[in-house]
């Protein structure tokens, strides 16, 4: 799910920007980031059972893996910064997750807010990346902004489910995915702030940056469980109209 955490760390390590982070932690982070394969494998194994409504999320997972590979190639083969990969990936991630949340709110009257949020996010990205010619450097503003938007929309999704669902929420993939979004993107805000401050300036910032890999692993595990739940029940052709998975 999160290619840039490791890629950024790895790139920074290569050019010796992060002196406080030991090499061992970067390797551990690299291994943890490969946990993105867990939900992807579960999805691919049961791809026929994956409902169409979850396709945007599945595409996010695939793009995450693709960005991970691209980052690795940029840094190790071309010996350049992977900032463009991260920037483009962030835009797609933002759009797809907002679209995913939009699809889940199928019967809501306030769906236009999702589209407004999407347009604002895209505008923000264009201004930050294209207008300020800032594609080759890492900057936290867009990443903090869209993380913030996704957290708010996910909270809205979860609260709606708490009051409207009769079945157990912990078996509901939408609930698990929204919970994952909240934890992950809330941490992303703190992570970007720590990165902005600089790991060499604060021990706490360094620990937060390293902790991102572990959060990433837990969230990918949660996503794998959610995808397993999405694809586990399929007794009838019309079941998906009732179980609101």
Partner 1 sequence: MPVNICNMTDKFFYTVIITSLLVAIVIIFFVISVIYYHKRYIQLQKEKTSAQIMMQEQERKRIANDLHDSLGPMLSTVKLYMHSIKVSNENDKESLNKASNYIDETITNLREISYNLLPSSLNRNDLVAVVKEYITRIASHHPLKIYFDAAEKTVVQKKTEIHLFRIIQEIVHNTVKHSGATTLKIFITSYPDCVFLLSEDNGRGFDLEAKKEGSAGLGLKSMENRCEMINASLRIVTAENEGCKIFIKVPN
Q: Which residues bind partner 1 (CB under 8 A)?
A: 144, 148, 151-152, 155-156, 159-160, 162-164, 186, 189-190, 193, 196-197, 201-202
Q: What's the min distance (Å) between Cβ of 175 and partner 1? A: 14
**CA geometry: angle at 40 spanning 38 and 44, to 5°?**
120
Q: What's the min distance (Å) between Cβ of 64 and partner 1? A: 23
CB atoms within 10 A of CB 78: 9
Q: What's the min distance (Å) between Cβ of 206 and partner 1? A: 13
Indicate the residue among 34 and 202 with the shorter CB distance to partner 1: 202
Q: Is 211 exposed, middle or buried (0-12, 13-18, 19+ CB in 10 A)?
A: middle
Indicate the residue among 41 and 162 with the shorter CB distance to partner 1: 162
Q: What's the min distance (Å) between Cβ of 147 and partner 1? A: 9
Indicate the residue among 53 and 186 with the shorter CB distance to partner 1: 186
Output the CA torsion 149→152→155→161 (10° steps): -80
Indicate the residue among 51 and 200 with the shorter CB distance to partner 1: 200
**CA geometry: angle at 56 spanning 233 and 223, to 5°?**
55
d(CA 203, CA 107): 47
């Amino acid at each position: 799910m999160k290619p840039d955490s490791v890629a950024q760390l790895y790139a920074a390590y290569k050019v010796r920007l992060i002196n406080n982070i030991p090499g061992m932690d970067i390797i551990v982070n690299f291994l943890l980031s490969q946990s993105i394969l867990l939900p992807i494998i579960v999805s691919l194994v049961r791809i026929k059972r994956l409902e169409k409504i979850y396709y945007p999320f599945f595409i996010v997972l695939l793009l995450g893996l693709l960005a991970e590979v691209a980052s690795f190639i940029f840094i190790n083969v071309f010996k350049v910064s992977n900032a463009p990969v991260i920037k483009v990936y962030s835009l797609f991630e933002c759009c797809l997750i907002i679209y995913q949340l939009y699809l889940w709110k199928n019967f809501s009257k306030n769906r236009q807010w999702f589209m407004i949020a999407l347009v604002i996010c895209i505008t923000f990205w264009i201004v930050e990346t294209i207008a300020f010619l800032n594609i080759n450097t890492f900057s936290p503003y867009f990443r903090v902004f869209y993380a913030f938007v996704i957290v708010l929309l996910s909270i809205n999704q979860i609260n709606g489910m708490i009051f409207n669902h009769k079945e157990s929420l912990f078996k509901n993939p939408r609930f698990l995915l929204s919970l994952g979004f909240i934890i992950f993107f809330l941490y992303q805000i703190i992570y970007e702030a720590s990165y902005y401050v600089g790991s060499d300036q604060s021990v706490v910032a360094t620990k937060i940056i390293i902790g991102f890999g572990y959060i990433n692993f837990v969230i990918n595990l949660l996503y794998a469980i959610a995808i397993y739940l999405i694809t586990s029940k399929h007794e009838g052709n019309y079941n998906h109209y009732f179980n609101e998975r």
